[in-house]
Structure 1
Amino acid sequence: MDGGGVPRLRPFAGRAVAGVAAGVAGLLLVLSGRYGFHRDELYFLMAGRHPAWGYVDQPPLTPLLARASTAVFGESPTGLRVVPALLAAGSVLLTALLAREFGAARRGQLLAAWAAAGSAFVLAVGHLLLTSSVDVTAWLAVCLLTARLLRTGDGRWWPAVGAVTGLALLNKDLVLLLVASLLLALLAGGPRGVLRGWWPLAGAAVGLAVALPDLWWEAAHGWPELTVAAGISAKDGLGNRLMFVPMQLLYLSPALVPVWLRGHRSLTRSPELRWARALGYAYPLLCVAVLVSGGKPYYALPLLLVLTAAGCATAAAGTGRVLTGGLLAAALVNVVITLPVLPPKLLPAVTWIYPEQGEQVGWPQLAMAAADGWRQIPAELRPRAVLFAANYGEAGALAHYGPALGLPAPYSGHMSLADWGPPPATADGPVLIVHPDGLGAVEREFTGCRQVGRVDNGQGLANQEQHAAVVLCAGPVAPWARLWPRLRHYY
């Protein structure tokens, strides 16, 4: 304790922790180009070319990061993935700093850094540019600033908490679940003194100011993100709820389960960490919110890293060597599951656990199959022809790989792509459609349809686009302006 009764921090193992963070970023960058783009990344590339303060399914930050990263480093998987690699390094650093807030000395801080670096979640979102890549780092930053606020009792930390929360809102609205959980935990377990005065209001004002452009866009467009969230819950809510507990055990690593359980017990019961009790209570509150809403299990993962940091702070004294060995073994397994180290033909060994691995394979082949179909359209009809994709992954692949194959810009009714259409009224056919295997309902909106091709990724890998159909139709059943609302879909 210092003279004012504030728990004193141990020296920060900055050089060693920075080495761990740099090692993770280096590994991610070395492996970044081994497969191809992920379907979400292809969508973000398209969205970045249509800059806006919001999109129907997300705020603007991730698409803008995609555009900035590829503008600087090149439009390739590696060029796109510099940002998530740096964010993963930031998450490692923040986890170690959280352990320091909870009283960890050098060894505890390093254990926390290694625990984050080898966790499946951090590796997965550090390899791909996803909204979760930004979320985990932003949430950890919010939690670190909140921990500093609670430990010191200094209300001047509130504007910083608000600023990072506002930045997180520019990436995804999910951070509101974190804020609500933390506020309820503060009311339940204290210290409630940090909620008094005008500093919390100042923090809220800063956060609102940062997030206002996206909130304004959402309000002006009828809050479409709520429609998307409701669709996700209706489609996947039951499965998300059934898998919630298993995924909490697996997403970091089974080896870390005892660590974060110890961290939760320490935060909620230890007299020395009484000031941090709200961070321990916030996790179960967040879990309830995710379960009730039918959200995805990984939504709660950043708070599990906070608990892990607390567990490393208390575990370092007597179990450091055993824990380090367990973390190393778990990290090797997580690397194989989440990173592109296997030959694509062997991916079925891990895609049943982590299907996003398979969604990085086969996009050039999809574009080539579409190009073969396009060449079946008579040359004199191509100026009036339309290339239509059923989902944003297909559209993104066609937009990225298609120009070199002679394909025009694709159209789609999926997510925000619907806002960038419809085709001009003069483009009355033919229409070349690409849609996933077995999902041919879209063909009902067109006439004279016949299949002219099928996608084969060349690896025998079962993913969402393997055996996708390439269908050539005579034209739409109605003018595009009238048909377009029927083609719009959110999931």
Structure 2
Amino acid sequence: MTAVIEARTEPEDVPNTYPSFAFRGVALIASISAIVLTATAGRYDYFGDELYFLSAGRRLDYTYADQGVVVPVFAWLADQLAPGSVTALRLPAVLMCVGAVVVAALIAYELRGNHRVQMLAAIAYALSGLAANQVVLSTFSFDATLTAVITWLFVRWVRTRQDWLIVVAGLAAALDMQVKWMIPIVWACLGIAVIVCGPRELLRRPALWVATGILASSLIPILYWQSQHNWPQLAMGAVIGAEQDATGYGQVGFLPQFPILAGILGTLLLAIGLWAAFKQESLRPYRFIAVTLVIMTAFVMITHGRPYYPGGLFPAIFAFGAVGLWQYDRKRWMNMALIPIVGISVLTTIVTLTVIPLAPSWRTQAEDAIDLGLRTAFFGNTNWSSMVAAVNVGYLTLTPAEKTNAVIVAQGYPQAGAVEQFGRQYGLPATYSPSRGFGFFGPPPDSATSVVYVGLDTAEHDLRTRFTEVERVVHLDDPMGIPGIDRMTTVWVCKGPKQQWSTMWDSMTTLYFDLGLWRDDRTTTRPTH
């Protein structure tokens, strides 16, 4: 009897008919999103992580210390096809964002949403803060859409009971594993949610365990690499947690950031979607998706993760909200209220995409990590080229003989990425950094006896313990600049390393990224190669 009840996918009061997919309407929304996002993709200069992805793409490997290979591959392709183009670099992220818009509509379709419901779900994602954040080349850009695809496949399985959909979901999860290493947690949260509220029949399907096996198999090369490098990703969790506490008000500030990520219309649908999943009978078979979001959010909060980590579940909940709103016995004023809400959401998105980043003259001085986070959001990262030009000044002080055995070493991984990206015009030598994933690219050769080092002012004491000669060459300290780029930044010329690089590198590598701000909470976790 229980099995019969669980197998029933539709409540009796829901007609056994389906609306057609709103292909033209969704295609129009997706097309507008693609055009607008592509046209505005280059408004920000490179972000530090994007510069790192470009460097990783120049050192292609089957996996990395902190991510899979997919994003570096796309960075490499962009660098080959359109060197120096920020828009080309971000085009894959634009396409992934547009894909998430379509998936939101597809989920609404699976939930019996009519054309308006499907378009409302698609519009909500297109106007969300997630979409704006997704149009930067990052692991989140791909992970959010792939997670949305996985939820869509599970929702469709509930309606059709076609087991091949679960196997495809496993393949999508295995692909996502080559992007960002959060998908096993999402998969586990989905499993817990199914255990809690069904459909428990899913647990008895061999296809689920085949899919889980596919995902598990995709972890093998990653786990092998991590085991050979002292598990840096495990240590990285504590570092990310400390950074999140410093830049995002910690756990207290986690949930208030959801409305920013969801947007105005998205926040409304997010709230209605969670309510409808537990109150409306037509959504009862799919309730496990909403429970997954709750479990995932709790996990990320407890572990001090980033607020956007559960973002891949937002398209499904937007679809829940759109369906719940349409099925609710609304008053006339409720229907009328949707017009200004959508209008304000559109206006907010237009302002975000055209006004931000703000003019440099509006900048204020960043005093702590929170200020720096706001500065980055409203102004982006600027003056990379000035920092690299300063590195070139240091390099020019070397004699021809010294240049033959010279390297560039950057304190932070974004600085190293910037030197590689902007330093090609100067003919600078090979660049290294002991910072995070860049440190695992390896140390300079032991033959390197001259070093042009760029980092924060505070690095000088450490340099003097490592080299026999340390000379300060250039100092950048714009009060309105960004530490590590054009504020509190120094270029040194160092000679005579006191140890071989292969020995010294282990004591230099660190997962902690020094922001250079006086309130910065420091984490000194260092992996050993």
TM-score normalised by the chain length of structure 2: 0.85
SS at match of 1:242: coil
Corresponding residue number in structure 2 for 1:295: 305
Corresponding residue number in structure 2 for 1:247: 257
User: What amino acid sits opposite 2:321 in the alignment?
Assistant: G
1:29-44 equivalent positions in 2, closer than 5 A: 29-44=38-53
**2:356 maps to 1:345:** no
CA distance in 1, matches of 2:347, 2:491: 40
**CA distances 1:94-140 after superposition (whole Å, capped 9, x unpaired):** 111112222221111111111111111111212x1011100110110
CA distance in 2, matches of 1:353, 1:325: 28
Corresponding residue number in structure 1 for 2:453: 433
For the 8 Å contact 2:44–2:380, the answer to whether it is kept is no
After alignment, is 239-248 or 137-146 more displaced? 239-248
1:387-402 equivalent positions in 2, closer than 5 A: 387-402=408-423
CA distance in 1, matches of 2:460, 2:107: 50
Which of 248, 269, 283 aligns to 2:293? It is 283
SS at match of 1:387: strand
1:334-483 equivalent positions in 2, closer than 5 A: 334-337=349-352, 341-345=356-360, 348=363, 353=374, 355-356=376-377, 358-429=379-450, 431-438=451-458, 440=460, 442-443=462-463, 444-455=465-476, 460-462=480-482, 464-467=484-487, 468-483=489-504
C-alpha deviation, 1:439, in angstroms: 5.3
**2:107 maps to 1:98:** yes
CA distance in 2, matches of 1:488, 1:193: 49
Corresponding residue number in structure 2 for 1:325: 340
For the 8 Å contact 2:456–2:483, the answer to whether it is kept is no
Corresponding residue number in structure 1 for 2:226: 218
SS at match of 1:475: strand
CA distance in 2, matches of 1:100, 1:296: 30
Corresponding residue number in structure 1 for 2:236: 228
**2:219 maps to 1:204:** no
Aligned residues: 485
C-alpha deviation, 1:212, in angstroms: 4.2
C-alpha deviation, 1:359, in angstroms: 4.2
For the 8 Å contact 1:446–1:476, the answer to whether it is kept is yes
Aligned Cα RMSD in Å? Answer: 2.6
**CA distances 1:125-162 after superposition (whole Å, capped 9, x unpaired):** 12x10111001101101111111112233333210110
C-alpha deviation, 1:428, in angstroms: 1.5
Q: 1:338 to 1:454 in 2, by over 3 A?
A: farther
For the 8 Å contact 1:347–1:461, the answer to whether it is kept is no
C-alpha deviation, 1:484, in angstroms: 0.8
**2:200 maps to 1:185:** no
Which of 147, 152, 166 aligns to 1:158? It is 166
CA distance in 1, matches of 2:470, 2:259: 47
C-alpha deviation, 1:77, in angstroms: 0.7
SS at match of 1:82: helix
After alignment, is 374-383 or 386-395 more displaced? 374-383
User: What amino acid sits opposite 1:243 in the alignment?
Assistant: G
Q: 1:93 to 1:184 in 2, by over 3 A?
A: same
Which of 266, 269, 272 aligns to 2:279? It is 269
After alignment, is 140-149 or 16-25 more displaced? 16-25
For the 8 Å contact 1:358–1:462, the answer to whether it is kept is no
Identity of aligned residues (%): 26
Q: 1:480 to 1:133 in 2, by over 3 A?
A: same
C-alpha deviation, 1:388, in angstroms: 0.8
CA distance in 1, matches of 2:456, 2:400: 27
Which of 117, 138, 149 aligns to 1:108? It is 117
User: What amino acid sits opposite 2:281 in the alignment?
Assistant: P
Structure 1 residue runs without a partner (length 5+): none
Q: 1:236 to 1:442 in 2, by over 3 A?
A: farther
Corresponding residue number in structure 1 for 2:3: none
SS at match of 1:103: coil
User: What amino acid sits opposite 1:137 in the alignment?
Assistant: T
For the 8 Å contact 2:357–2:377, the answer to whether it is kept is no
Corresponding residue number in structure 1 for 2:507: 486
Q: 1:299 to 1:338 in 2, by over 3 A?
A: farther
Corresponding residue number in structure 2 for 1:89: 98
Which of 9, 24, 40 aligns to 2:33? It is 24
Q: 1:100 to 1:110 in 2, by over 3 A?
A: same
After alignment, is 185-194 or 155-164 more displaced? 155-164
CA distance in 1, matches of 2:263, 2:238: 30
Q: 1:380 to 1:71 in 2, by over 3 A?
A: closer
